Structures are given as structure tokens and as C-alpha cells.
Amino acid sequence: MGDLEVRDLGRRPYLEVHQLQQELLQQRVEDRIPDTLLLVEHEEVVTLGRSSPEGDASDTGLPVVSIERGGEATWHGPGQLVAYPILKLPEQRRDLHRYLRDLEEVVIRVLADHGIEGSRVEGLTGVWIGKKKVCSLGVAVRRWVTWHGLALNVDADLAAFRRFRPCGLDPDVMTNLKAHAGRPVTPAGVRESLERHFRAIFRSGI
């Protein structure tokens, strides 16, 4: 599976990182860089995937950006760990449904590290804790190179989700890791776990 470069970007504006993703995507398509995993927290923003209804999230009072990933509207902001894999999927893994399930598995294992049982919901993407959604997924692929990715609510303020229908769902369905961990937890404290499980799943060659 080759090398994996991991870049911890700290906290960055969404559009800055979106531009970086586009640059890295093209470089990976051309085999000028290895597979790359970006880890970041964003300043507050709502992004609209390709399935978002017209005008969705227009009344949030937050910046709204339409992007290329699948899915509907979601929020990014402080307290949420976002992972953007720029991966060239090998021939044996060129199945987007499998790719989404593998991303979910990364998060399920991260939750397990905190003593929390994560699960999937039939017909929906993302990871859930009971009936609450803790992680949203939205991806895009160009020439079998992935971009966009997953957003795990760690200790994010959930009030922002109540300004619209995240992923087309009732806002009250959203939760964060902190609410279930029974102790303080931060995105910085989760990064090592996420990177470790990401490597285990995507660098195994399976």
C-alpha cells in the first residue's frame, strides 16, 4: 500500500483546506505525492454536498459553501476532528461502498478506545452511538483518488446543528464524543487514535 503522509493542520478556515485538498488531489492523481491524510479543525462553516436541497442552511448566520462531496448539509467548527484522506485506491479496493464502510470502521474503533460502542444505521452513512449520530461522512473521488472525508464531533458545541437539518436529519440526533466518554476529551486527544486505526485499516493491504 506504500507510504502514508499525515499532516496535522491544527485549526484552519474551510476554504483554505479545500484548496489544499484540490492541490493534493491533482498531485496524487499524477503520482507526485504519496497517499496523504489531513487532520484539521475548522472555523465555523456549513458545507452543502451534492444532495443538498436548494437554499438549504441559508438562514444559519454562518458561512455556507457548496462542495463536491456526496450527502447534504453539515457543520464544521471547533471541537470537531475532520479527516481528509487523499488516497489512491488500489484496484482491489475500488468500491465506494466499501470505502465508506472502512471510514466508519475507523471511527467505530476510535470510539471503542474510549469505551463507547459505535454502530452503523442501515441506509445511512456515518457512525452512531445508540440513536445519536456522532460522525458524518461525505466523500468524492477523481480517477480513484479520494478526497473530502469524515467529521467526528469530539467536544463540539452541538447548538450549531440546530440551525438547519444536518444531513437532512432532525438536529437533535447529533451528539459528540464528550457526552458519552464520561471524561474530558478533545480533538487533539483523539488524533493519535484516529491515525492509528486509519493506518490499520487502509495500510493493511487487505
pLDDT tens digits along 66-87: 888 888 889 999 999 999 999 9
Nearest 5°: phi and psi at 30? Answer: -90, 5
pLDDT tens digits along 174-187: 999 999 998 999 99
Residues noted as catalytic:
167
Least confident of 62-66, 113-117, 180-184: 62-66
What mean pLDDT comes out for the span 100-126? 96
Say yes or no to pLDDT of 92 above 60.
Answer: yes
User: What pLDDT score was predicted for residue 206?
Assistant: 43
pTM above 0.75, yes or no: yes
DSSP E strand stretches across the chain? 4-12, 35-42, 45-48, 64-66, 73-76, 80-86, 127-129, 132-142, 145-153
Which residue segments constitute the domains of the chain, with CATH numbers given?
A: 4-202 (3.30.930.10)
Handedness of CA 177, 173, 13, 25 (dihedral sign): positive
